[in-house]
């Protein structure tokens, strides 16, 4: 008679992780599918991401529109913005938070990109692998993992990545998908490790947008509205069972 199997076979295929798919379906049911974003070239996305830190989305878009009008940036050519005096840029981005910090940072970044690549464009990044693009971008002041994730995922580069902003970081931790101590880089590593392999860059973008909206409308930093939250049954912070995943959730 065969002895009972005490240990699982080492190479046995594991079932796919369905936590993010479950999360995505619940948020889509609550908020509807997210409209596709307007995709920009990577340099315009970088400029927007630098300006939008701690600034509301509508105000960030207004600032970018103003810059495009003022410096002929509608075709992704930002030479006039790079060459403008810092004081003038500061005034042009006054609708964003901390313009006095962002203006010199922006000008220095545009100058440095020009110096390193011979012209003010990030189109050459299409030849690089995703990790190389991100480390190249993260050498510039003010560019961290959130901004590099936004550039590679949201722009015409369209690579697989998750932009972990403060909403995404907070919600991943509250849902038990990341430990409390996890910074944005660690949260992205943990989430990408369980993101379905078939999710396209566009789907990862939509997932980020749904989580961000949930963070703005329901799971806010100061007063999460757990009683009215569509994720409450599976959220340990809200008193749910903590069992995200399609096989156990319904
Ligand atoms: S149940 Fe509460 S903590 Fe959990 S996701 Fe919803 S609002 Fe956030």
CATH number of the domain to which 86 belongs: 1.10.340.30
**Residue 227 domain flag:** yes
For ligand 1, mutation pick of 229, 243, 244 (most atoms within 8 Å of CB): 229
**Residue 4 belongs to some domain of the structure:** no
Is the minimum distance from the CB of 232 to ligand 1 under 6 angstroms?
yes
* Residue where a domain terminates, one of 129, 154, 179: 154
Both tokens of residue 71? 């410096």
- Residue 49 and residue 104 in one domain: yes
Q: Which pLDDT tens digit goes with each residue over 6-34? A: 555 667 777 789 999 999 999 999 999 88
Question: Is 114 part of any domain?
Answer: yes
Q: Do 199 and 174 lie in a common domain?
A: yes
219 lines ligand 1 (CB under 6 A): yes
Q: CA 187 → CA 14, 53, 158, 159, 166, distances in Å?
A: 22, 19, 20, 18, 11
In terms of domains, do 120 and 192 share one?
no
Residue nearest atom 8 of ligand 1, based on CA coordinates: 219
Mutate to test the pocket of ligand 1, among 19, 166, 212, 219 (most ligand atoms within 8 A of CB): 219
What is the pTM assigned to this prediction? 0.90
Q: Is the CB of 230 under 6 A from ligand 1?
A: no
Q: Show which of 154, 174, 209 is a domain's final residue.
A: 154
Ligand 1 contact, 182 CB (< 6 A): no
Cβ 161 vs Cβ 151: under 8 Å: no
Q: Which residues contact 143 (CB under 8 A, 6 or more apart)?
A: 46, 50, 109, 137
Is the same domain home to 239 and 167? yes
Residues 1-8 have a mean pLDDT of 49
Does any domain span residue 181? yes
Ligand 1 and 23: CB distance under 6 A: no
Verify whether ligand 1 is closer than 6 Å to residue 231 (CB atom). Answer: yes
> Looking at the domain assignment, is residue 11 inside a domain?
no
- pLDDT tens for each residue of 139-174: 998 899 999 999 999 999 999 999 999 999 999 999
Q: Which domain holds residue 67?
A: 42-154
The predicted structure's pLDDT at residue 7: 55
Examine residue 10 and state whether it is found in any structural domain, yes or no. no
Please indicate, yes or no, whether residues 195 and 224 belong to a single structural domain of this protein.
Answer: yes
Among 123, 154, 185, the domain boundary falls at 154
Domain count, the chain: 2
User: Ligand 1: which of 230, 235, 243 to mutate, judged by most atoms within 8 Å of the beta carbon?
Assistant: 235
Say if 13 falls within a structural domain.
Answer: no
Cβ atoms 108, 141 nearer than 8 A? yes
153 lines ligand 1 (CB under 6 A): no
Least confident of 6-15, 76-85, 117-126: 6-15
Q: Give 175-180's long-range contacts (Cβ < 8 A, gap of 24+).
A: 175/23, 175/231, 175/234, 175/235, 175/236, 175/237, 175/242, 175/244, 176/235, 176/236, 176/237, 176/242, 177/19, 177/244
Clarify whether residues 188 and 228 are in a common domain. Answer: yes
Pair 102, 149 in one domain: yes
231 Cα–ligand 1 center, Å: 6
């Amino acid at each position: 008679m065969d002895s009972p199997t005490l240990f699982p076979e080492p190479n046995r295929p594991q079932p796919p992780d369905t936590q993010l798919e479950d999360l995505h379906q619940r948020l889509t049911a609550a908020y509807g599918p997210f409209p596709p974003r307007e995709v920009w070239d990577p340099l315009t996305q970088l400029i927007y991401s630098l300006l939008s830190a701690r600034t509301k989305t509508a105000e960030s878009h207004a600032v970018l529109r103003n810059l495009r009008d003022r410096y002929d940036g509608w075709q992704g050519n930002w030479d006039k913005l790079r060459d403008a005096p810092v004081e003038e840029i500061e005034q042009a981005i006054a609708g964003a938070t901390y313009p006095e910090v962002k203006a010199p940072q922006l000008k220095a970044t545009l100058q440095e990109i020009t110096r390193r690549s011979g012209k003010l464009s990030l189109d050459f990044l299409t030849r690089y692998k995703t990790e190389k693009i991100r480390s190249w971008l993260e050498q510039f002041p003010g560019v961290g993992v959130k901004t590099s994730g936004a550039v590679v995922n949201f722009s015409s580069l369209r690579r697989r990545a998750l932009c972990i902003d403060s909403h995404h970081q907070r919600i991943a931790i509250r849902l038990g998908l990341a430990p409390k101590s996890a910074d944005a880089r660690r949260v992205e590593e943990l989430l990408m490790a369980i993101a379905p392999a078939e999710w396209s860059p566009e789907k990862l973008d939509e997932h980020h947008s749904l989580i961000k909206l949930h963070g703005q409308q329901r799971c806010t930093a100061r007063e999460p509205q757990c009683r009215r939250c569509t994720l409450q049954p599976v959220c340990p912070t809200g008193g749910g069972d903590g069992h995200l995943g399609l096989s156990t959730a319904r």
